[in-house]
Amino acid sequence: MHRAVSPSPPRINGMGTEFDRDIEVTANGTGEHTVELGEGWVVGGGVNGGYLLAVIGNALREAAPGKPDPISVSAYYLSASTPGPATVRSRVIRDGGSVATLAADLSQDGADRITVLATYGDLSGLPDDVRTSAVEPELPPLEQCLPTSAAPEKLKKTAPLLSRFDLRLDPAYAGWAVGQPSGNGVVQGWIRLADAREPDALSLLLMVDALPPATYDLGLPGWAPTLELTAHVRAIPAPGWLKVRHATRNVAGGMFEEDCEVWDSAGRLVAQSRQLARAPR
């Protein structure tokens, strides 16, 4: 039997949101899920890595009973994906106690594009303790930030990903847009999905790789393909806008690390990620 897996309740009168529709996976009865990668998530040389992470994350949601939420996901990117049909093969490595360890591969045209290890659990069942010493990014109010909706039409056409979000960049780290990068290696801003679909654990996997690379702010524009990305989802986000901050501290040997923090509207650090990417040449 083919069966659709819905990651969260449809938002408007039974109609799925754009994100939910585009990450919808269908079990094909052989332990695999099929998905149609949306055209809207393309940027640079292929489909956005965060979107692909959310697709895989959605396929893994039903792998372990009682453990619906991604807690840690490590993705190794093998080759660029393109819009169209893809397959997610998943398997349970260990399911016991409060977490399960899972593996998944996303393939397309017979070739693996991404291979993943993950820990899943139940975020709603975690203890309430919070002793975070990280400092929430201070962002100017929404209306003083730079909306990427104001990007040139030509850019929006070649990078349709831009239109999937309502993204407001902190102008202090957006000078690269006019050829004046700050040199700090930071990019940050307010973000939500374009149709205001509320954040959940799954959409955080998208958010950790949604912004332009922090290398833009170092005066290194260009495509920065991810080799590896590990995301930790630490809590279910509160409704509303998210703050996302990317920073890099070690650009060397033709690679750089990029750390991402996602803060929710309640001021909680809900996700952290680090990726290793190739520096633009």
Q: Applying CB under 8 A, which residues contact a second copy?
A: 71-72, 74, 76, 78-79, 93-94, 99, 101, 103, 112, 115-119, 123, 126-134, 184-185, 218, 227-228, 230, 232, 234-235, 248-255, 257, 268-269, 272, 274, 276, 279
Q: Closer to a second copy at the Cβ: 42 or 104?
A: 104
**For a second copy, which is the closer residue by CB, 48 or 248?**
248
Cβ at position 268, least distance to a second copy in Å: 8
**Quick one: 132 or 144, whose CB is closer to a second copy?**
132
Closer residue to a second copy, CB minimum distance, 11 or 268:
268
CB 190 within 8 A of CB 242: yes
- Cβ at position 64, least distance to a second copy in Å: 13
Q: From the CB of 88, what's the least distance to a second copy, in Å?
A: 15
At CA 72, angle to CA 71 and CA 75, rounded to 5?
Answer: 140
Taking the least distance from each CB to a second copy, the nearer of 112 and 166 is 112
Calpha distance 179→145 (Å, rounded): 17
Q: Which is nearer to a second copy, 52 or 279 (CB)?
A: 279
How far CA 238 is from CA of 107, 199, 204, 268, in Å, comes to: 33, 7, 12, 9
Distance of CA 118 to the CA centre of its chain: 15
Report yes or no: 206 and 49 within 8 Å, Cβ to Cβ: no
User: Whole-number minimum distance, CB 226 to a second copy, in Å?
Assistant: 10
Sorted by sequence, the CB contacts under 8 Å of residue 47 that are 6+ apart come out as: 37, 41, 80, 81, 82, 83
| Tally of CB atoms within 10 A around 233 | 27
Q: CA–CA distance from 118 to each of 14, 51, 114, 184 (Å)?
A: 30, 16, 13, 32
Pick the closer one to a second copy by CB: 17 or 226. Answer: 226
Q: Provide, rounded to whole angstroms, the least separation between the CB of residue 8 and a second copy.
A: 20
Strands (E), 28-68: 32-37, 42-43, 46-47
Taking the complex as a whole, how short is the minimal distance between the CB of residue 78 and a second copy, in angstroms?
A: 5
Rounded Cα distance, 197 and 227, in Å: 29
Smallest distance from the beta carbon of 96 to a second copy, in angstroms? 9
